[in-house]
Chain A
Amino acid sequence: ETGVTQTPRHLVMGMTNKKSLKCEQHLGHNAMYWYKQSAKKPLELMFVYSLEERVENNSVPSRFSPECPNSSHLFLHLHTLQPEDSALYLCASRRQGTDTQYFGPGTRLTVL
């Protein structure tokens, strides 16, 4: 295991639902990331948090809302999603000053 956990591992939701994805890292890192992974496409960076402040929002629709209450936890709040948002959502963390990101196992999201 990489020291980064994500819950839930699988999520099925309707377009009108509100749900949240959770990421937790036990590595003492101070930067955290949300990625979207769709089939046969490169990982897409969604959000970057450094020292609990959002430093990047990569043109992500407002129906995705991140939250980083502390350096160990990262949430992705989901609201009014579309079927094309179905994908694997990966969380990663990094210690600033290094390049290596450690990934969680991901949440497989299906939007009906």
Chain B
Amino acid sequence: KNQVEQSPQSLIILEGKNCTLQCNYTVSPFSNLRWYKQDTGRGPVSLTIMTFSENTKSNGRYTATLDADTKQSSLHITASQLSDSASYICVVIPLYNQGGKLIFGQGTELSVKP
């Protein structure tokens, strides 16, 4: 079982609607949790970074939340746009991190339709 599990695996929404992506992790202790956006044919790009003591972090229409007690994070996208169509990857960085290792989720494929 992967240490970082994301749901749903894929999601289709209409333009302008909101959506929430989920991430459950078992990595402990951890330094920070990140959400990455990966457009088709591109590498992942960091959207939000939260340390273990933060509960929420926003980046424009993207808001990430973190509950360290339940080991859950979510990424909420408000007023979706066609350009939000991408894969969203939850990444956890262990606290004792040799060589800068990242623990990746498998991603949620989001498709925003007009």
Contact = CB atoms under 8 A, between A and B. Distances in A.
Interface in B63-87: none
Interface string B83-114: 00000010001000101111011110000000
Given A42-B4, A103-B43, A55 B99 contact: yes
Interface string A37-54: 000111101001010000
Given A31-B99, A105-B41, A99 B93 contact: yes
A41 B109 CA distance: 12
Contacts of B9: 40
A42 B106 contact: yes
Q: What is the interface residue range for chain B against chain A?
A: 20 to 34
B100 A101 contact: yes
Interface residues of A, number: 26
Contacts, number: 55
Nearest to B31: A99
Interface in A4-44: 4, 9, 31, 33, 40-43
A100 interface: yes
Interface string B24-49: 00000001100000000111111001
The listed residue with most A CB atoms (<10 A of its CB), out of B9, B32, B43, B104, is B43
A33 to B, nearest CB: 8
A40 B41 CA distance: 15
A9 to B, nearest CB: 8
Contacts of B31: 99
